[in-house]
Each structure stands twice: as structure tokens, then as C-alpha cells.
Structure 1
Amino acid sequence: MNSDHIQALFDRIAPVYDELNHGLSFGMHRIWKQMTVKWSGAKPGDTCLDLCCGSGDLAQMLSEKAGRTGQVYGVDFSAAQLEVARDRSERRCIKPPIHWIQSDVLNLPLSDNQFDCITMGYGLRNVVDILSSLKEIHRVLKPGSKAAILDMHRPDSAFVRTFQQWYLDEVVVPAAQRMGFTEEYAYIAPSLDKFPTGREQVRLAEQAGFTTATHYPIAGGTMGVLVITK
């Protein structure tokens, strides 16, 4: 799937993205995102970046950590997702306001060494070039700072992997189908098959120039967080 198709897919699912993710994860996605923000090391006064920000959950959590003296940027290439994110943050009166930017994460309109921390939720699996994306994260991150990248993951356990496949086939896709988005959610399983394992993600991060990289499996290995330090 090329970048134009991925962008069009996320534009289409923007109206139901939050509702589906919340229901399909039984609300657990918010806990996984909070863990990701904690691993990013975000703190008051920081300049923070959330990539592939979608409807803005992680950016909002970063804003709460950065406080009034910090700055938060949310980047996504889907205009529809950014519109949802902007509307949600305005209704919540988040301070400081989040700067929303429409951009491809492989070519960020941001300065070198600009950010104290970076998060990405469910985005790395969807970029067309994972190594290039990690190199771009390395470029804009300040030396000594961290990025935390949350995504779905193929578990090592054959039993859990079988359950994950059953859940995708029998729960996720039918739920999406009821909302008219069968094709948009049916892509998840094939994208997981091609997604690098945790060990492979660590090697790619090292290739991109990060000094340390650790992949933490969570949710029985069905999710994972890659934590990388420049």
C-alpha cells in the first residue's frame, strides 16, 4: 500500500477512528498511550512532538505533561484526522495549545535537534519506509532525548498469535464492517505480517543512529513500545 492509499484510508476512517479504537481495545489503548508518554520522558517545559497524531490522544497527553511552559506539536498527513484532533483539543481548552501540522513524517518541516521528546502511536507500521522515518525522528530529536513508539505487534507465543488473528478476523473486521469500513480495517493483519519484530525494530533504530534502543512487549506481546535515545 503506497502513501497516497494510506493517507486516503485514514481520511476515510477519521469520523469513527476514536470510537472503534476505544471499543476494540476495551479502553486499554489509553493506558498503552499513557505508558508511551511516560517512556518518552516528557516533563514540564518540554517541547514535545507526536507523529502520526491521528485524533490527538498522545498529543493531548504530552500537553498535560509539558504544562503551560511547554510546547506540543502534532503531525499527521491526514487532513481529516487533524480536523478531528483540532476540534477535540479546542473543546477541552488544552493549555498550551497544540500546534497541528499536516505533513508526511518522512519529510518533517521541523528543525534539527528541536524536540525534548517524541511519541508515535500506530504510525510506524504504516509509513512506507521505516528506516527513513526513524532517521527523521533522530534528526529532529535533541541529543540525549527519547522517542517512544507504540504499535501493534506479532507476539512470540503461537497461542497468543492465534488469538490475535482470531480477534482481528472475528471481532475487528466485523465491527468495522458494521460501520462500512471493512476494507480499511482488513489491512491490519497483512500490515502486521510485514511489520518488523521488536528485535528488528531495535536493529533499525541503531542503523538510524540511536545510541540505545529497547523494545518493550505489552498486552501479551500483541502491542509493543520501541524506546530510543539519541
Structure 2
Amino acid sequence: MGAVNGPAPPPSAVRHLHSASWSPSSLPIRCSSLGLPRRPFLFLLRSPRRLGNNRVRCSAERHALFNRIAPVYDNLNDMLSLGQHRSWKRMCVSWSGAKRGNRVLDLCCGSGDLVFFLSQKVGTEGEVYGLDFSREQLSIASRREDLYWKACYKNIEWIEGDALDLPFSDGYFDAITIGYGLRNLIDRQKAMREIFRVLKPGSKVSILDFNKSTSSLVNMLQEWIIDNVVVPTASEYGLSQEYKYLKTSIDEFLTGKELEKLAKEVGFSKAEHYEIGGGFMGNLVATR
């Protein structure tokens, strides 16, 4: 991501999925670009300070956790992975099969890394949607878009919404990515069904996350790193308790084979899981 070139771009606005009843006097913003919605909704332009209430099915504790870590999330990722997380994210985007001119979605988009990579992949003629339940993460993503402005970033829409109840019509996307998000959803099967529903036939979802390895050695090393590197580093930011959650969430996650099985159970025709990052990371690629 480079510096700003030319005149400063207009500030980007986060678009919020609002579940209030539609009325003819309300003017939807860019609703036509979503095709026929599953139910009436409005896209409302608003600044990060004017975020409305949006019901998302997740634990209140988990929702609060991701809002709390948002301000230091990117710095910690860079420090803890020695910058390697960006290479893994580029790999995830590449495996999604996203091409120039495609309409794509990044679920659980956080502060936007995968969204920005997707934006560059599909170009100015494509469309990119970044959806997350954390308004703090979306606010940071929107500010990063302005800071690292590229012409293609005009194709990005930020949406605060529910990964278990996606606000898009069937077969809407050419590709979908998720980075470190599926592990944190309360109903992974429902999330996969929703992903399957909004993907076009023959399209792919690419899911990057910490790997729950079948190797006891890898698991022991992973736990040691979390206890002795990740949590102590997070404690410098006053977030040791928040990052202790990481070990539990990996323990409760699925192995690569279990992820492949889940994808096939919801209807994907093909699913392959790849271990990367020395076995500490994994990427599932599933074809609708």
C-alpha cells in the first residue's frame, strides 16, 4: 500500500445494514447493486460516530472483545507474525480465484487487509464488499482506505452485518474470502450454508485461519507460542486476557479434514485444506 497520490480522495463512508421497516419515503442508497434482497433493508451512509444498532448473532463477550482489540489489531498481527500474515492473506485471495471485474466478498473483514488485496485483484470494474460485526474494526478499515488510497478502492463497500444471515441474493458473488473469522462464529455450519448460497455455481470460497493440526508436536508448539509470545506481547497493550482467548478458540476449531467434510456437507462440490506457515496456519478452498 503506497502513499496518497494526487488530490485527496473524498472520505469513505461505512454503509450500515439497517433492519428497520422500509418505507417509500426512504431512499435506499445503492440498493439496486445488490439485486433483489431477501427482505427489505436500507443502506445508510453514516460516519463511524453515527453507527446505529444492528443485531448480530454472536456472544456479547466475543463482540466486545473484537471491538476492544481493534485499535492495536494490525500492529499486533505485524509483530507476532513478523509480517508474514500479509503473505498468507495474499495467498488466500489468490486461491479464491477472484479475477478482474468480479464481484467479491470478504467475510469477517476486520480492519480490511483481505478487502484491499481483493480490490486490487478485481480492479476498478469489479465490486468488493467487506462485512464485519465489529463497528470499531469497520471504522478502522474505512480510515485505512482513505490513508492508503488507490484508484481501485472506489470499488469497496463496508457493511456492518451478520455472517450467519447475509444480506445478499442467491448466487451473487464470484468469490468469497474469510481471514481468521470462521473460527469465531457461533454456528459454522450455518455460516458455510450462507456462503454456499450467495456464491455463483463454480465459484470458490477461500478460508484462512489458524490450523488445528493433527500433529501433537505442532499443537504443543502453537500453545507454547501463544502462552510465551502472543499473550505477553498483548499484555504490553493491556490485552492479555483478550489474547488468551486465542488458544481456546483454536482448541474448539475444526481440523483440516473436518473443514473439508463440513464444506461438502453443505453442498460444495470440492474442498481442499492446505497447511501453510509451517503447519501453524491452514487454508480451506471449497468450490460451489
TM-score interval for Structure 1 and Structure 2 normalised by the shorter chain: over 0.9
Give the TM-score taking structure 1 as reference length: 0.97
Aligned to 1:226: 284
| 1:24 matches 2:76 | no
Q: Is the 8 A contact 1:69 1:96 kept in 2?
A: no
Which of the numbers 168, 171, 189 marks the counterpart of 2:226?
A: 168
Name the CA distance, whole Å, in 2 between partners of 1:4 and 1:136.
22
Aligned to 1:126: 184
Aligned to 2:92: 36
Aligned to 2:169: 111
| 1:4 matches 2:60 | yes
Which structure carries more helix by proportion? 1
Gaps (5+ residues) in structure 2?
1-57
Identity score, percent: 53
Deviates more, 1:84-93 or 1:44-53: 84-93
Name the CA distance, whole Å, in 1 between partners of 2:169 and 2:87.
31
Aligned to 1:188: 246
Name the CA distance, whole Å, in 2 between partners of 1:117 and 1:161.
31
Q: Is the 8 A contact 2:172 2:198 kept in 1?
A: yes
Q: Is the 8 A contact 1:155 1:220 kept in 2?
A: no
What secondary structure sits across from 1:142 in the alignment?
strand
| 1:88 matches 2:149 | no
Aligned-residue CA RMSD in angstroms? 0.9
| 1:142 matches 2:172 | no
Aligned to 1:52: 108
Q: Is the 8 A contact 2:92 2:207 kept in 1?
A: yes
Aligned to 1:157: 215
- Kindly state the Cα deviation for residue 91 of structure 1 after the two structures are TM-superposed: 1.7
| 1:75 matches 2:131 | yes
Which of the numbers 38, 63, 83 marks the counterpart of 2:119?
A: 63
Name the CA distance, whole Å, in 1 between partners of 2:225 and 2:110.
23
- Kindly state the Cα deviation for residue 183 of structure 1 after the two structures are TM-superposed: 1.3
Name the CA distance, whole Å, in 2 between partners of 1:158 and 1:135.
31
Number of residue pairs aligned between Structure 1 and Structure 2: 229
Deviations 1:110-168 (A, max 9, x none): 11111000000000100001100000000111111001000001223322222111100
Q: Is the 8 A contact 1:176 1:182 kept in 2?
A: yes
Name the CA distance, whole Å, in 2 between partners of 1:138 and 1:78.
23
Name the CA distance, whole Å, in 2 between partners of 1:185 and 1:96.
31
What amino acid does structure 1 have at the position aligned with 2:231? V
What secondary structure sits across from 1:187 in the alignment?
helix
Deviates more, 1:19-28 or 1:155-164: 155-164
